[in-house]
Amino acid sequence: MQQSEAHQGAGSAAEVFAAFLKLGLTSFGGPIAHLGYFREELVERRRWITEEGYADLVAICQFLPGPASSQVGFAMGLWRGGAWGAAAAFTAFTLPSALLLFAFALGAASLEGPLAAGALHGLKIVAVAIVAQAVWGMARALCPDRPRAAIALGAVALVAALPGAGGQVGAIAAGALAGLALCRGAGAPVAGHVGFPVSRRAGVLALALFFLLLAALPLLAGGGAALALFDSFYRAGALVFGGGHVVLPLLEAGLVRPGFVTPDAFLAGYGAAQAVPGPLFTFSAYLGALAAPGPGHAAGALLALAAIFLPGFLLLVGVLPFWDALRTRPAMQAAMRGGNAAVVGILGAALYDPVFIGAVRGQADFALALAAFLLLTVWKVPAWAVVVFAAAGGAALALV
């Protein structure tokens, strides 16, 4: 990133907010698409950072748990405008989709009649197609050889044997250990240099706070519904490798299984989240608003958003000063390959339960899910348009 030194810290928080509000309103298509929008706006048009510097930053955020595109946005705001710039980037990029999903949470309960019920069911069906597309794409990228395919299959078996968050965490840990043994030398050599304006002291403090919260929150969760909810969302944000759709099984284990949110409301909200721009993690605003017991409404939405994004940002700040040394170590690279393969298995298991069995009730539902999948993968129709198609299809099926 040395070539970008002249641009580092050269902007204001207001400038950062304006740039990321535009991105938050227009960035459809998931985290990979978001990174493309960021590159076009921040690298090519505004020239805040060099191509090489941006590529290094993306590599850092893909290495860490958490929402990769939001972490890149947070880091770009930090680079351009300091701490206030980081806060401005996160707020502007997150706010549009969070408000839309919060409004959907408030309005979904008032939708009545067969057409409304059918449209909501269509949102659950489109989740089948969206997650199937994610599993397919991630499997091709993260499980390209036999060892990593075997790790993914083992993760499916472990999650099936130990349902819930414990099985998912165990699958990721087992995948990382298997990667150490099976995945050395499976990737391209790492080159280049990353420098970032975060001190080692700040990094150590951020990492300490990350692990302190991860250890303490489960112990404090019995102190009330708000703490229990914060723990569920924080754990999901802390353990999700790959971002985006991978958060689905972790949120389902932390919220649906304990009874904070019903399975039908969970899948309907997940489907609606595909139709809005910005990060998929804002699905948490919808869940926090509906969760009961809990603060509910705006307070619940804010609590959920803060809890799910916080761990990824703490990890990012914590790792930035040490990234150069970490990323070149073969053992670290091998463990990450195995952990990422396990994530594919976890998401594959979630495709069946709760997504498929919670949405597909017969042949007509399966046909609608298959049509949505083909629209996404073969005809390359934008996700928001496929969501509208599936909602309309669900309403039509309700009349048959």
* Measured distance CA(358)–CA(351) in Å, rounded: 10
For residues 125 and 84, state if they share a domain.
no
Burial class (CB in 10 A: 0-12, 13-18, 19+), 65: buried
For residues 123 and 76, state if they share a domain.
no
Contact 56, 192 (CB under 8 A): yes
Which pLDDT does position 210 carry in this prediction?
97
- Domain for residue 86, yes or no? yes
For residues 351 and 389, state if they share a domain.
yes
For residues 20 and 104, state if they share a domain.
no
- Domain for residue 188, yes or no? no
Q: Which residues contact 389 (CB under 8 A, 6 or more apart)?
A: 126, 371, 372, 375, 381
Domain end residue (candidates: 58, 92, 126): 92
For residues 104 and 205, state if they share a domain.
yes
Containing domain of residue 125, as a range? 93-182+193-399
Give this prediction's pTM: 0.78
For residues 249 and 261, state if they share a domain.
yes
- Domain for residue 149, yes or no? yes
Which pLDDT does position 195 carry in this prediction?
59
- Domain for residue 187, yes or no? no
Query: At which residue do the structure tokens 């002291």 appear?
Result: 201
Which pLDDT does position 9 carry in this prediction?
65
With a cut of 70, which residues of the chain have pLDDT below it? 1-9, 29, 32-33, 52, 55-56, 59, 109-112, 164-165, 186-196, 241-244, 324, 327-328
Which pLDDT does position 196 carry in this prediction?
67
Collapsing DSSP states into helix, strand and coil, what is residue 65? strand
For residues 80 and 104, state if they share a domain.
no
Which pLDDT does position 393 carry in this prediction?
95
- Domain for residue 162, yes or no? yes
CB count within 10 Å of CB 26 equals 12
* Measured distance CA(52)–CA(4) in Å, rounded: 9
For residues 84 and 129, state if they share a domain.
no
Which pLDDT does position 2 carry in this prediction?
42
For residues 106 and 70, state if they share a domain.
no
Collapsing DSSP states into helix, strand and coil, what is residue 122? helix
For residues 175 and 251, state if they share a domain.
yes
Which pLDDT does position 59 carry in this prediction?
65
Domain end residue (candidates: 71, 92, 113): 92
Q: How many domains does the chain have?
A: 2
* Measured distance CA(166)–CA(367) in Å, rounded: 34
- Domain for residue 127, yes or no? yes
For residues 82 and 172, state if they share a domain.
no
Nearest CA-CA partner of 239 in 184, 189, 176: 176
Contact 4, 50 (CB under 8 A): yes
Helices H / strands E in the chain, number of each: 18, 0
Residue 290 forms beta bridges with which residues? none
Domain end residue (candidates: 92, 121, 142): 92
Which pLDDT does position 1 carry in this prediction?
43
